């Protein structure tokens, strides 16, 4: 991998991750951009003990531009994009409309490929491995920022999810706090350790239970296990754990890194086959749960990827209505065992 750092016209950082050393990276950004000005702040909800980012400047962000005006495609004559180059393998840059910025963290955009009409599932294993390297590198870099406590690498895919740019891309959020979802897991982890006298790790027990039961296992490799959780919140939801527990992406060994691309690509391709031939691409959210950097239980946390769709059946979405949105109490329309069986059924032919 070749990594090249440069700056966009308004001073934001842009990084290229290339598969080879052959591509020159001396192109500059000719756009007359003013420096980015944000209104980002983070407020604490004392009743729920969580945080809310207030970012009113995002009302003006780019929204579903036509393909020939995509800001994530390579630049060409007549169209200068966020990528001042005629091509790239993976590109990462600071978001022009960040939810978190400055003392309140950092937001980055990750472009998985320069092919606008592609998707992550269309990547080769080599390309997917490069994305994993980029995610890992950004986690390591953001860990050095005093304003970042936790890093979340994720992809929103599909207009149904709320995607505002059609180009295959994801985002990286560097939160200045421990997110509510992670805080809940850490509290459960701590309580379990207290009950067992520290003799057992809750994450390890969850994965071991799923491997022993087997009914919700979707895919297994030597170094990874993918399963539908026993109490899945979403119609089709898969959690992917490395066999060797590590707190974040930096801890993965070479064997786990080597096995990940083929296994993850297979999961994404199965998601696209869930609703039958001819169905539109499955909308999904995929994201890495990583340990906060300073939490005392950091080493007990288990890195894992969560992949889920809000589509529950052809033509129907799982709406977050009164119970889910108002009370945070989920009701799932698909049993986890049925979801796992369907995900095994749509496996790629060998």
Annotated catalytic residues are 169
Cα distances from 272 to residues 49, 168, 218, 276, in angstroms, run 37, 15, 15, 8
- Tell me if residue 92 falls in helix, strand or coil: strand
Helix (H) or strand (E) holding 127: helix 125-142
Cα distances from 33 to residues 9, 127, 128, in angstroms, run 6, 31, 32
Torsion of CA 256, 94, 44, 50, to 10 degrees: -20
Q: How far apart are the first and last CA of the chain?
A: 30
Separation of alpha carbons 56 and 337, rounded Å: 42
Q: Please, are residues 123 and 265 in contact by the beta-carbon 8 Å criterion?
A: yes
Q: Residue 325 phi/psi, 5° resolution?
A: -75, -40
Say if strands 224-227 and 236-242 run parallel, antiparallel, or are unpaired.
antiparallel
Separation of alpha carbons 191 and 195, rounded Å: 6
Separation of alpha carbons 121 and 264, rounded Å: 9
Residue 157: both structure tokens together: 């895919």
Separation of alpha carbons 349 and 246, rounded Å: 32
């Amino acid at each position: 991998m070749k990594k090249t750092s440069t700056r966009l016209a308004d001073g934001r950082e842009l990084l290229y991750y290339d598969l080879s050393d052959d591509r020159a990276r001396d192109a500059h950004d000719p756009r007359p951009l003013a420096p980015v000005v944000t209104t980002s702040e983070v407020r604490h909800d004392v009743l729920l003990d969580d945080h809310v980012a207030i970012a009113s400047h995002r009302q003006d962000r780019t929204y579903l531009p036509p393909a020939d005006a995509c800001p994530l495609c390579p630049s060409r004559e007549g169209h200068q994009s966020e990528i001042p180059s005629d091509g790239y393998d993976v590109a990462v840059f600071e978001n022009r409309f960040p939810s978190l910025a400055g003392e309140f963290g950092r937001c980055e955009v990750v472009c998985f490929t320069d092919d606008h009409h592609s998707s992550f599932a269309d990547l080769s294993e080599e390309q997917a491995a490069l994305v994993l390297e980029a995610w890992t590198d950004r986690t390591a870099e953001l860990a050095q920022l005093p304003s970042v406590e936790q890093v979340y690498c994720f992809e929103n895919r599909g207009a149904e999810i709320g995607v505002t740019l059609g180009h295959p891309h994801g985002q990286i959020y560097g939160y200045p706090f421990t997110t509510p979802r992670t805080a809940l897991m850490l509290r459960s982890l701590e309580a379990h350790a207290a009950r067992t006298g520290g003799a057992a790790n809750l994450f390890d027990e969850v994965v071991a239970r799923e491997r022993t039961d087997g009914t919700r296992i979707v895919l297994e490799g030597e170094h990874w296990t993918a399963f539908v959780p026993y109490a899945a919140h979403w119609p089709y939801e898969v959690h992917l754990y490395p066999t060797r527990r590590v707190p974040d992406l930096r801890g993965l060994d070479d064997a786990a890194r080597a096995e990940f691309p083929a296994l993850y690509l297979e999961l994404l391709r199965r998601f696209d086959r869930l609703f039958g031939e001819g169905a539109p691409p499955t909308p999904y959210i995929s994201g890495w749960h990583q340990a906060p950097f300073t939490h005392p239980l950091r080493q007990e946390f288990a890195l894992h990827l969560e992949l889920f769709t809000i589509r529950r059946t052809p033509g129907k979405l799982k709406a977050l209505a009164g119970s889910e949105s108002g009370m945070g109490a989920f009701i799932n329309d698909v049993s986890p065992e049925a979801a796992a069986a369907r995900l095994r059924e749509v496996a790629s032919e060998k």
